[in-house]
Structure 1
Amino acid sequence: MSEGFLTRPMLRSPAWQRLLHDVYIHRDARLDHRVWCRAAALVLPPGAAIGGLSAAHLWGLEIREARVSVVLPRSRSFRPHPHLVTHRTTLVPADLTVHEGIPVTTPERTAFDLGRRLSRAGALGLLDAMLHRHILGLDAVRTMTEQRLTWPGGAELADLIRIADPRAESPMESHLRLLLIDARLPPAIPQLEIHDRSGGFLARADLAWPESDLIAEYDGDQHRDRAQFRHDVTRLNALRTAGWTVLRFTADDVLRHPRRLVATVSAALAEAAERQSGRHPQSAGR
């Protein structure tokens, strides 16, 4: 508008929608979170950037977030808006970059911030996802965390960094793995390739204990599809034929019945140990 392409009367017409102060978009344009981030970037004060979940979205993660998250130096002020949420924090130039023309926190600073704000399961899922997509350098975020260990949540994030794994393929897989780690069960291998006795590829397991011939799988909503269900049955039978025990869990198990889930895995590992010791589980102790 300052260059004379549009006048204020034109912007007040039904053809344009006001997003923020002096920021408008054509009514036919697609209005998604990325567009809101671009709009917010136009009104940011110097030294501020898109951060938090919005930054993670811009870096390529599939995150559903309504409001745009903005990080501000503590000395800066910013006009509040219902579609924006602001976080005042200490920022140094190395924390910020420009991505697709938008000022944004670096992947490392984004992971550092969200890793301290989200739940443990949410933070681990974020770390795993950023590592899996090669967005994040684990050494860089580890170094940043060690340098700012006294920041709120820094020590907790450092613990999660130790178990973050780029092989995880979904947040719920990460949540499932965290439940088992917190229960102090033997560590499982994420996304292990399973082969039959002749060496042919059978499947990749979400979590596997090869020494126990045990697999734990998270079944998301996509497994309700009829074609996917038929594929799952064939895959499950092939794994059983190859000597693997397969445990399947849903979101209800992970989110609402974590103790039952852990007990199920623990019992299966104990049964595998009994078999390996040459005793039948039912006759043990009798």
Structure 2
Amino acid sequence: MLTTASGPFLGSAAITAGLVTPARLRGPHFRRLFRGVYLDRSETVDHMTLCRAAALLLPPGAALSHRSAAHLYNAQVLARDQPVEVTAPGGLRPQPGLRVVRSPLAPGDRARRSGLPVTAPLRTAFDLARGRDLVAAVVGVDALLHQRVVRLDRLHAYVAEHAAWNGANAAVRAIGLARPFVESPMETRLRLIAVLGELPEPVVQYDVFDRDDRLVARVDLAYPEKRVALEYDGDHHRERDTFRRDAVRLNRLHLLGWTVLRFTADDVLRNPARTLAVVRAAFHDR
């Protein structure tokens, strides 16, 4: 009998093996993840679980790709209710929760991660970079750079080798805006608000030292010549210990003459024009 630790399985294979009856499979004990793929209801469904389920359907030469592959490389790229994304030369149809991209995958474009077939890091970055949404494309490349699974020089070379592919021009632009060391997607989005708003590009992860060359703080984004810092405050900044450390850190920066602008998800995602106006005002005031 199937156990709660069995993970996703093909219903047809379980029936053939005598592990479950068709009637029980349709009952309350199992949930259907994709057509023909099931999971014990006691198990948690997350994106990794869905990737394992989708992998059971992949034809030869196919692989998990785009944001699903990036997730397997530990890059923070998943959107809410993100479908599993796969690239296949053929033989697989899309369905609810499963996005299929038709494209050939050369042997060098395929790899394995956590036991699953995925697009290789360079192919994953290239696929994300040539997406229609420029900001999302840069977010994806930044996240892979942060995990150090790709390097900018090799990515530029890969794109040059695939210059005739659809979306290659978009990839060139996205990769031109990508930077290593960005620590979160929201930092990428905040940086792009400034850059696409025609302000000079801020320095990523800038170390501020005092007059005795002692490290005071590292800020998310900085205009060192203006002593203006841009910081994204996620929910963890509301935790008591983090809040206390932030207060000490900000006081030390202010004493050194820095203006620190702090932004939330609401500022970055819902009010980018207002956020740009604040950054522009601080930049020109200094």
CA RMSD of aligned residues (A): 2.5
C-alpha distance in 1, partners of 2:261/2:36? Answer: 56
CA apart distance, 1:28:
2.9
Q: Deviations over 1:25-82 (max 9, x none)?
A: 3333333221221122122111111112111111112324442212111xx2224432
Match of 1:68 among 56, 67, 84: 84
Residue 185 of structure 1 corresponds to which residue in structure 2? 199
Aligned residue for 1:230, secondary structure, equals helix
- Residue 170 of structure 2: aligned partner: 156
Matched, 1:127 2:120: no
Change over 3 Å in CA distance of 1:266–1:26 after alignment to 2? closer
Letter in 2 for 1:120: L
Distance in 2, matches of 1:254 and 1:30, equals 31
Deviates more, 1:122-131 or 1:84-93: 84-93
Q: Which amino acid aligns with 2:281?
A: A
Residue number among 58, 71, 94 corresponding to 2:72 in the alignment: 58
- Judging changes above 3 Å, is the alpha-carbon distance between structure 1 residues 92 and 234 closer, same or farther for their aligned structure 2 residues? same
SS of aligned partner of 2:122 = helix
Contact 2:75 2:144 in 1 (8 A): yes
1:143 to 157, 161, 171: 157
Structure 2: give runs of 5+ residues left out of the alignment: 1-12
Moved more, 122-131 or 61-70: 61-70
Contact 2:186 2:265 in 1 (8 A): yes
SS of 1:212's equivalent? coil
The one-letter code sitting in structure 2 at the alignment partner of 1:25 is L
Number of aligned residue pairs: 270
Q: What secondary structure does 1:69 align onto? A: strand
Q: Which residues of structure 1 form unaligned runs of 5+?
A: 273-286
For residues 1-23 of structure 1, the C-alpha deviation after alignment (integer angstroms, 9 at most, x for no partner) is 48975444286375544444554
Distance in 2 of aligned mates of 1:28 and 1:256:
37
Instruction: Mark the CA change 1:125 to 1:47 in structure 2 (over 3 Å): closer, same or farther.
Output: same
Task: Please tell me whether Structure 1 or Structure 2 has the larger radius of gyration of its CA atoms.
Answer: 1
Task: Tell me the equivalent position of 2:214.
Answer: 200
Cα displacement (A) at 1:187: 2.5
Relative to structure 2, which stretch is displaced further, 187-196 or 23-32? 23-32
Tell me which of 208, 223, 233 is aligned to 1:219.
233
Find out whether 1:37 has 2:51 as its counterpart: yes
Q: CA deviation at 1:225?
A: 3.1
1:270 partner SS: helix
Q: Distance in 2 between matches of 1:174 and 1:84?
A: 27
Partner of 2:179: 165
Amino acid at match of 2:83: R
- TM (norm. structure 1) is 0.84
Matched residues, percent identical?
A: 43
**How far does residue 145 in structure 1 lie from its aligned partner after superposition?**
1.6
Superposition deviation, residue 153 in structure 1 = 2.6
Q: Which residue of 117, 124, 128 corresponds with 1:114? A: 128
Q: Structure 1 residues 54, 259: closer, same or farther in 2, change over 3 A? A: same
Alignment partner, residue 21 of structure 2: 9
Shift of 1:238: 0.8
Counterpart-to-counterpart distance in 2, 1:124 and 1:161: 7
Structure 1 residue runs of 4 or more that deviate by more than 4 Å after TM superposition: 1-5, 13-18
Q: Residue 261 of structure 2 corresponds to which residue in structure 1?
A: 247
